[in-house]
Amino acid sequence: MREQLEQLKSGALQAIAASSSVEALQDIRINLLGRKGELTALMKGLGTLDAAERPVVGQLVNSVRDEIESALVSALESAQQNVIAARLQTERIDTSLPGRRAQKGTKHPVSLVIEEICSIFAGLGFSVAEGPEIEHDWYNFEALNFPPEHPARDMQDTFFVENSLLLRTHTSPVQIRTMLKQKPPVRIIAPGTVYRCDSDATHSPMFHQIEGLMVDSKVTFGDLKGILTVFTNQLFGQKTGVRLRPSYFPFTEPSAEVDIACVICGGKGCRVCKNSGWLEILGAGMVDPEVYRHVQYDAENISGFAFGMGIERIAMLKYGISDMRLLFENDVRFLRQF
């Protein structure tokens, strides 16, 4: 019996050492240790032994089995390693081929800029207001202190509809509609489409603006400067220089053009900024008392500011677009870059 065991052991270890495939090793396991395996058969023979010999041989059987088992485990381990190594040797893909991806969609740059500006002003406590694009002369001009026949109307070439309706030339009528609807405090921005009867490389008959309005009890021109500085720094970068210079709009006084340090040349002077180092990005000012009169606000006890900017211009500066017409040609080769 002992001899048989020794023989079995050495035979098994030899067979294990000679086998390199996982399948062969598993066969060996079944042949030796399986239900009908050789070692299992031997173990069944233990019963025929003397009661005295039984535990000794039993121990021996166990140790043989353990030895075979551990040899099998480590052989299997290395066989499996070999299998993996072999796979890694042969399995190859061309990773330079393009990936399988979902088609990318894009928002129009005008939408992107409107969303960005709205979210900056949302952070400053402004909510969004809207108004009609086909507008009354009264909201678009008169209530904003453009009397009929006033030369300031020449600043805005207007598309007319009929019955004193027109295509709004700016988003400013939303100021009037908002103030007629609510009493101060007011803090709104109004993005929207506007129209001017003008078309060339820098003018489009349709474009977009964002209007801002804040009216409260003690708002100052300095506050306007503060809000616009925060805004331009968030939109164009923390260190963007901002400059306000006197200008004129019928519905604000004092009025200002707001320039930022040229984002193209950094203020040194280039073609885009006409060598001035500054880029005009928005118009602003303190709401004119005449406007308050039209919406029945008490100009003595409240004050506020308004500002407006062209979205296309900001998009062009942000993305380095040189021709405004590109924004409305809707060529997907252009749009898919955003």
Query: How many whole angstroms separate alpha carbon 223 and alpha carbon 284?
Result: 12
Examine residue 319 and tell whether it contacts another protein (CB under 8 A). no
| Minimum CB–partner distance for residue 273 and Zn ion (Å) | 3
Examine residue 286 and tell whether it contacts Zn ion (CB under 5 A). no
| Minimum CB–partner distance for residue 190 and another protein (Å) | 11
Site stretch for another protein (CB under 8 A), options 12-20, 31-39, 46-54, 227-235: 227-235
137 vs 257 by CB, closer to Zn ion: 257
Query: How many whole angstroms separate alpha carbon 84 and alpha carbon 150?
Result: 86
Examine residue 197 and tell whether it contacts another protein (CB under 8 A). yes
Examine residue 195 and tell whether it contacts another protein (CB under 8 A). yes
Q: How far is residue 202 from each of residues 19, 198, 206, 263, 310, measured CA to CA in Å?
A: 81, 9, 12, 18, 12
- Which of 238, 225, 166 minimizes the C-alpha distance to 197? 166
DSSP output for 203-224: --SEEEEEEEEEEETT--HHHH
| Minimum CB–partner distance for residue 320 and another protein (Å) | 19
Query: How many whole angstroms separate alpha carbon 99 and alpha carbon 101?
Result: 6
Interaction partner, residue 40 (another protein, Zn ion, none; CB < 5-8 Å by kind):
none
| Minimum CB–partner distance for residue 266 and another protein (Å) | 18
Query: How many whole angstroms separate alpha carbon 238 and alpha carbon 260?
Result: 12
| Minimum CB–partner distance for residue 310 and another protein (Å) | 14
Interaction partner, residue 265 (another protein, Zn ion, none; CB < 5-8 Å by kind):
Zn ion
Lookup: tokens for 320: 């380095």
Residue ranges in 253-272 that form contacts with Zn ion under rule CB under 5 A: 262, 264-265, 270
Burial bucket for residue 119 (CB in 10 Å: 0-12, 13-18, 19+) = exposed
Residue ranges in 20-79 that form contacts with another protein under rule CB under 8 A: none
Residue identified by tokens 């904003």 is 144
Size of site (CB under 5 A) for Zn ion? 5
Residue ranges in 316-335 that form contacts with Zn ion under rule CB under 5 A: none
Residue identified by tokens 């399986």 is 34
Examine residue 256 and tell whether it contacts another protein (CB under 8 A). yes
What binding mask, one character per residue, do residues 263-282 give for another protein by CB under 8 A, x or -?
A: -----------x--------
Q: How many residues does the chain have?
A: 338
Site stretch for another protein (CB under 8 A), options 4-12, 66-74, 84-92, 253-261: 253-261
